[in-house]
Amino acid sequence: DTEVTQTPKHLVMGMTNKKSLKCEQHMGHRAMYWYKQKAKKPPELMFVYSYEKLSINESVPSRFSPECPNSSLLNLHLHALQPEDSALYLCASSQDRGRSGSGGEQYFGPGTRLTVT
Amino acid sequence: QKEVEQNSGPLSVPEGAIASLNCTYSDRGSQSFFWYRQYSGKSPELIMSIYSNGDKEDGRFTAQLNKASQYVSLLIRDSQPSDSATYLCAGDNAGGTSYGKLTFGQGTILTVHP
């Protein structure tokens, strides 16, 4: 089973709203990721959690706030977003990479399509 | 700047033909490489991973890796219209960490016409 679930599927929010995106996996993976994808572009890494600790923040604006309540859940809290933040937000998870650097395949959820008005 | 470059496409092949997708990378520290398929409006789906030099086959898909040339490719045999999608090549170099850090290419749009 390589399923990562995300809710909601679609979200429309105003620039003054606060909302949260949720991601869940039950594959026992200890790394979870948030990506942002704009149309016709590849996914861009935003955050990485490893063993429930924030390991990478790719200089993401503070209006995006990640949270990892436990090893299966990942949230992305949104506040005061801008219209240019409209995108597909993808969650992924992976098992640990091997000592040689192999493995660690990342499996993506279906994404949340966010529109900021 | 760690980069992954893909043949820009779009690539159009007839049904039943072999589709060849290519990717080069600049970071010699990259250890693992992945091919994702992404249908329009959907999320990326992992179709192949490769870590060692040589070929790796899975059904109609063959991934090839040549670390000396810093080259990765994906061959799709007996292409079907359902293979029409954007194919993303990604290299992973997160050093000695347990998690990955993917660098994606820009993607190649493949169209298989009947």
B3-21 pLDDT, tens digit each: 899 987 899 999 999 999 9
Long-range contacts of A60-69 (CB under 8 A, 24+ apart): A66/A34, A68/A32
Q: Which residues of B touch A (CB under 8 A)?
A: 31-32, 34, 36, 42-46, 49, 51-52, 88, 92-94, 96-102, 104-107
How confident is the model at residue B9, as a pLDDT? 82
| Overall average pLDDT of the B56-74 stretch | 97
Whether B102 sits inside 8 A of A45 (CB atoms) is yes
**Residue A1: pLDDT above 60?**
no
How confident is the model at residue A96, as a pLDDT? 87
| Overall average pLDDT of the A91-114 stretch | 90
How confident is the model at residue B1, as a pLDDT? 64
Q: Which residue of A has its CA nearest to B89?
A: A42
Residue with tokens 């169209």: B111
How confident is the model at residue B65, as a pLDDT? 97
Of B93 and A54, which is predicted with more confidence? A54
How confident is the model at residue A98, as a pLDDT? 79
